[in-house]
Amino acid sequence: MAYLHSVDFEKHLSDFKDIIDLEKTIVEANDGINKKLNEVKQTYQHLVKNNNKKIFLFCLDAFFFQYKNHNTEYENLSKASILIVNRMYGDYYKLYNILLLQLREKNIPLKSITESKKFSIYKDLEPYYPYSMNEITEIHNSIMEILFELQSYHNSLEKSAFGYSQTSNVGLSITNFIHTLQYENMLVREQIHLYVNYLSFYHNSHKNYLQKLIQKINNFQQEMEEDITNTNIQPFSQSNSIETVDLECVFAITDNMNITTILEDSDKVVKDSEEILEKIENIMINDDITIAIVESITPTEITPTETTPEEITVAADAKSEDPSENIESEKIEETV
């Protein structure tokens, strides 16, 4: 008699608990990233609000792109987390329905089959639909309940077959019955092993996906912290006081470098930039005014006038009386 003792249900429950813990770690990490990004966004908004000159906005544009780049990567990581959780629910949902279908076809009387639960329908065309971990835990527990009850059912069949073979006194006539009963029991046993292997595969793959995602999140957190630290962004106080910047932290000061010169050059660059922007604005305004004036002028209609032969003769005589033109004509003739 071969009882089924090879299935370690405690191990599978422990593996699923590890998956739940990994998912919680991801949620906590995402919350931390979201909080940090909100702080960066608020810093940017504060800078823009209190420094609304165009030259300052031009400089702050790089800071905004840094925030936007980090936020895009965070959204991609969040979508990856939703995708994995969605896949987890889909795998357990499909396995649960396969168990119900096949065990009902074989008319195996299990309480967990006759009193099956209803779960949210999984849709393959909605890979980013957010399922809760409570739903996943509930459907996983239902699968474990079916497998545990199926194992008990198999063990009871093995006991019955063994009892028939030991207590029967009808001779060889019952041998075929015993063999058939053992064969049916073997099919149930192999079904249990098959379902358990399915479940074990899902546990390993889900754990692998979540661990890789956690590694990506940790790398992203480290990169974001390094970027934010390198920008040297200091929190703004509510007062209007201006703190003195230690240029030795910004420039590599040497004996030949004067801090006063650096400040004067910086002020000159800012002043020149503002003057250039102001000139560009004036040019653009003047161009707009010129275009508007030209468009407002209505061209007058020119009507051709008839010229009499007498007027042509008078005009020709007047032209010939111009001494400068005659001199020019003589020069041309001499040249020829």
In the chain, what are the domain boundaries? 9-230, 244-298, 307-336
- CA 7, 9, 12 angle in degrees (round to 5)? 110
- Specify the amino acid at residue 192: I
Half-sphere exposure for 240 (CA within 13 Å, toward CB): 2
User: In the numeric block, which tokens belong to residue 53?
Assistant: 């000159």
How does residue 312 score in pLDDT terms, banded at 50, 70 and 90? very low
- What's the chain's average pLDDT? 79
Q: How far is CA 14 from CA 18, 111, 216, in A?
A: 6, 25, 25
Spatial separation of the C-alpha atoms in residues 4 and 297, rounded to whole Å: 101
Comparing 175 with 240, the larger pLDDT belongs to 175
Q: What's the pTM value of the predicted model, to 2 decimals?
A: 0.65
How does residue 292 score in pLDDT terms, banded at 50, 70 and 90? low
pLDDT at 259 over 80: no
Helix axes 9-50, 133-167, angle to 10 degrees: 170
Q: What is the pLDDT of residue 72?
A: 96
How does residue 316 score in pLDDT terms, banded at 50, 70 and 90? very low
Spatial separation of the C-alpha atoms in residues 330 and 336, rounded to whole Å: 10
Residue 302's φ and ψ, nearest 5 degrees, are -100, 120
Q: What is the pLDDT of residue 336?
A: 34
How does residue 293 score in pLDDT terms, banded at 50, 70 and 90? low
How confident is the model over 22-32, as a mean pLDDT? 96
pLDDT at 250 over 70: no
**Helix, strand, coil percentages in the chain from 3-state DSSP, rounded to 5:** 75, 0, 25
Quick count: other Cβ atoms within 10 Å of Cβ 200? 14
